[in-house]
Amino acid sequence: MPGQPRGKPGLQAERTQLSWQRSAIGFLASGAIPLLRQGGPLAVGGTLLAVTAVLLALLVLRLGRRRGQRIRAIRRIAGKNIVPNARTGVFLVGWATAGFATAIVVLLMHSR
């Protein structure tokens, strides 16, 4: 972009942080659903799921903030922008999502 200083990311950091925030909102919504139903199949573990969802959402927000800071601190080597790899954070959130989904399925199976 013509008005943008060389070597600085444009809206990439903001878009990245917004995507992590959307993931955190997804965890919060998933944790709130069991609390909406009184005496439903997830009544026993609903509170535990909600607390877990809040903790996972906070983790995702922290990872997103850290990722945004890393993108803002972009390095330029040999004329190319070098952005640190996000593999660890993405794997962590992926495994957290799989674990959270498994907990929901286990509670559903246990309540029957």
Return the domain boundaries, the chain.
12-110
Bigger pLDDT: 73 vs 23: 23
Dist. CA 41–CA 86, nearest whole Å: 37
Residue with tokens 């996972």: 56
- The answer to whether the CB of 82 falls within 8 A of the CB of 73 is no
Asked whether the predicted pLDDT for residue 6 surpasses 80, the reply is no
What pLDDT was estimated at residue 1? Answer: 47
| pLDDT tens per residue, range 32-56 | 877 776 666 556 677 788 888 899 9
pLDDT tens readout for residues 57-74:
999 999 888 888 887 777
pLDDT confidence of residue 70: 80
The pLDDT of residue 9 is 53
Higher pLDDT, 43 or 16: 16
Question: Mean pLDDT lowest for which of 8-12, 51-55, 93-97, 108-112?
Answer: 8-12
Contact (Cβ atoms closer than 8 angstroms) between residue 56 and residue 92: no
